[in-house]
Homo-oligomer: A and B are copies of this chain.
C-alpha cells in the first residue's frame, strides 16, 4: 500500500460560518494509508472517473443539452430528479479535485458545469424534467416534483466546486437559482407567491452551506423558513414527506428515511449557525429515538421497502431491511453535524458503525457495482430479478441516487473524522494519516479496523501550552489500553472521550490499543426479527456468513454454537484482504412436516448440543458481501 504524505487538508463540506455556535469545529484529516485510503483510491480511480460515461448513457447529460436547446430528442429517465445524479457526481468530482490535481477530471467537470449553466433559464430556474416534460409548470407539484431537492444538490455541488477550485462558474448558477427560489418562496404576508416546501427535504442543508460560502444571510433565513414549514400540512400532512408534525415537536423519526435524515441534517446546520436550542434539542431527541429503536446493527436505516419508511420502533427485519445506501450517507452527514453541535462522542460511534458496514456495503470492492438496499439476510435459493431494490449488485440504477452519493462521501471523508476546539484536537475516527487542528498536527499509523493498535505521534504542537488530545473510545469497546510517551496512562474515558491533557512536544507518542476480540452480539428482546439469534462483530465491523464460504450446504439450516470459541483468521487472499472470524456451528436437521410447516409446540424437538452435523462457519465483514457468486447471506445467526 503506497504511503504518500498529504499536503494541507483539502477543503470540504460543513465549513462553519464565523458566528457558528458549534461545540467543535471540523478539521480535516489527511488520509494517507490503510483501510479508508484504499477505498478512497478505488473511488478516485474507478467510481468517479466512470461518472460522465454513466451519466451520458443514462441520459442525464442529454437532458441538460436538451434543456439548453443544444440537442434533439426526448427527456430520458424515469424520475423528475435525475438532474441530481449529475450534481452529486459534480460534488464528488470537486472534492476529488480538492485533494489532487487531475487535468482529465477537471476537464470533465468544466464540461459538465458548462452543460448545467447552459440549461439554466434566464430567471435562474433549472430543472430539466419541468423544463422539458412539464411544460415549465413550476412549483405546482411540490409533493412529488423534487424541484427544490434538485436545487439543493446543485447548490451543494456548487459550494464544493467553489471550495475546491475557486472557480465561480457553478456557484454563479447556484446563486441565481437560490435567489430565484428566495424570490418565490416565503411565508404568508411575505409578498412571495408560494408558501411551500419540497416533498423531499435537501435544499435546507444546502442553503446553509451556501450561506457559509457566500456570507449571504438570506440563504440561512430561507433554510430556516423551509425547515419550519414542514409539519403544517402544506404537503398534505403525510409522514412520508415529513409533513405530519413540525420537527420541533416530533418525538420519533418517521416516514421516508432519507427525507427525514436530510431534513434533520438541515436542522442541525441551522442550529450550528444560529444557536437554535429547540432545534438542537429536537435533533438530540430524534437521534436517540432512532438509534435506540430504528437502527439496524449495520447502521442501516429504513425498515420498509414500501414508501422507504422508517417503520415502527424495534421493527428491524433482516431480508426485507431497506437500509438504503443514501440513508447511510445522510445518517453520517446528520450525525457529524450533531457531533459538532454537541461535542458528544456517541455520534462518532454511529458514524463509525455506519461507515464500516451499512454505507460501505453500498459499493462493490472493485467500485463497479452498487447496492441500493442493504439487507441483513438473503435466503438460500433467493431468486432476484435484479434492479434498483435488489439484493444483488447492479451496474447502475434507474433511480441512481445512491452511487454518486457514495462517491461524494468517500471523496470528502476526511472531513468527518476529527475536530478541534479551544482545548485541542478530537479524534472521532481512526485512520492512517495526519490529523491537524489550530497549531497542532498528529500523525496516525494504524491498520485499524484489522488491528486495534493506533499509534499517534505529535508532529506539531504549540510550545509551552497544554492542550488536550481527545480520543473517542468506541461504544463497542469493553476496555482499552493507552500508553502516553511510553508510560501506561490509567484514566477512564468519560462519555466516550478519553482526554489526554498535557504540554506536548514534537515526537510525543500515544499508543491506543482497542480490543479486537471477536464478540457475539444480541439484540433488545423487542427486536422480534432476531429473537434467539446472535451476530458476530469484531471492532467496528459487523460480520456475516456468505454462501460462497460454505459450499457444503445452505445457510438457512445453520445454528451457531455459542459455547465454542470464535477464532480470528487473516485471509489476505479473500475479498481484497480481510480478517475472517471462524465459528463452530451445526447444521440443523429439520424433519419433513409434509405440507404444513406449523406443528404442536410440544412436538418440537429442540436438538441438544450434539444434534446435527458440525460445520465450520466462516464469517466475513458485512461490507464485503455480495462480491462473489450469488448466494445466501446472514448477519443474525440462530442459536438453536
Residues of A within 8 A of B (CB): 238-239, 254, 287-288, 291-293, 295, 297, 304-306, 312-315, 317-320, 346, 349, 377, 379, 381-383, 385, 389, 475, 478, 519-529, 531-535, 556-557, 562, 588, 590, 593-604, 638
Bound CA span A297–B598, Å = 7
Bound CA span A315–B525, Å = 20
Bound CA span A315–B321, Å = 13
User: Contact at B590–A312, with CB atoms within 8 Å?
Assistant: no
Out of B295, B383, B596, name the residue touching A475 (CB < 8 Å): B596
Out of B304, B318, B382, B525, name the residue touching A590 (CB < 8 Å): B525
Residues from chain B with Cβ under 8 Å of A317 in the complex: 317, 320
Smallest CB gap from A293: residue in B = B597
Bound CA span A320–B320, Å = 9
Out of B533, B595, B599, name the residue touching A522 (CB < 8 Å): B599
Bound CA span A575–B475, Å = 49
- Main SS at interface, chain A: loop
User: Contact at B312–A527, with CB atoms within 8 Å?
Assistant: no
Residues from chain B with Cβ under 8 Å of A292 in the complex: 593-597
Q: A522-B604, A528-B529 are in contact. List 4 more A-B contacts (CB 8 A).
A: A287-B595, A312-B382, A522-B601, A531-B638
User: Contact at B525–A638, with CB atoms within 8 Å?
Assistant: yes
Out of B519, B523, B601, name the residue touching A597 (CB < 8 Å): B523
Out of B287, B312, B381, B599, name the residue touching A379 (CB < 8 Å): B312
Residues from chain B with Cβ under 8 Å of A320 in the complex: 304, 315, 317, 320
Out of B239, B520, B525, name the residue touching A600 (CB < 8 Å): B520
Smallest CB gap from A603: residue in B = B522
Residues from chain B with Cβ under 8 Å of A349 in the complex: 596
User: 8 smallest A-B Cβ distances: which pairs?
Assistant: A524-B597, A520-B601, A305-B306, A522-B601, A532-B532, A531-B532, A312-B379, A291-B595
Bound CA span A638–B593, Å = 22
Residues from chain B with Cβ under 8 Å of A318 in the complex: 528
Smallest CB gap from A526: residue in B = B556
> What's the number of copies of this chain in the assembled complex?
2
User: Contact at B519–A346, with CB atoms within 8 Å?
Assistant: no
Residues from chain B with Cβ under 8 Å of A239 in the complex: 383, 385
Residues from chain B with Cβ under 8 Å of A305 in the complex: 304-306
Min CB–CB distance A587 → chain B (angstroms)? 12
User: Contact at B638–A600, with CB atoms within 8 Å?
Assistant: no
User: Contact at B520–A598, with CB atoms within 8 Å?
Assistant: no
Out of B383, B524, B597, name the residue touching A527 (CB < 8 Å): B597
Min CB–CB distance A196 → chain B (angstroms)? 21
Smallest CB gap from A349: residue in B = B596
Smallest CB gap from A542: residue in B = B598
Smallest CB gap from A597: residue in B = B524
Residues from chain B with Cβ under 8 Å of A528 in the complex: 318, 377, 529, 638
- A-B residue pairs in contact (CB < 8 Å), sample of 13: A292-B596, A295-B597, A304-B320, A349-B596, A475-B596, A521-B600, A522-B598, A525-B588, A525-B590, A527-B597, A529-B529, A531-B531, A535-B598
Smallest CB gap from A588: residue in B = B525
Out of B287, B306, B385, B521, name the residue touching A599 (CB < 8 Å): B521
Bound CA span A520–B600, Å = 6
User: Contact at B590–A526, with CB atoms within 8 Å?
Assistant: yes
User: Contact at B389–A306, with CB atoms within 8 Å?
Assistant: yes
Residues from chain B with Cβ under 8 Å of A523 in the complex: 597-599
Bound CA span A196–B387, Å = 25
Residues from chain B with Cβ under 8 Å of A385 in the complex: 238-239
Bound CA span A382–B526, Å = 14
Min CB–CB distance A374 → chain B (angstroms)? 16
Q: Which of A295, A521, A523, A525 gathers most chain B CB within 10 Å?
A: A525
Residues from chain B with Cβ under 8 Å of A381 in the complex: 312-313
Residues from chain B with Cβ under 8 Å of A297 in the complex: 598
Bound CA span A297–B638, Å = 21
Residues from chain B with Cβ under 8 Å of A531 in the complex: 531-533, 638
Smallest CB gap from A307: residue in B = B305
Min CB–CB distance A544 → chain B (angstroms)? 15
Bound CA span A142–B11, Å = 54
Q: If A562-B601, A596-B291, A600-B478 touch, does A556 touch B314 (CB 8 Å cutoff)? A: yes
Bound CA span A595–B529, Å = 19
Smallest CB gap from A554: residue in B = B526
Bound CA span A524–B557, Å = 11
Bound CA span A601–B524, Å = 10
Min CB–CB distance A475 → chain B (angstroms)? 6
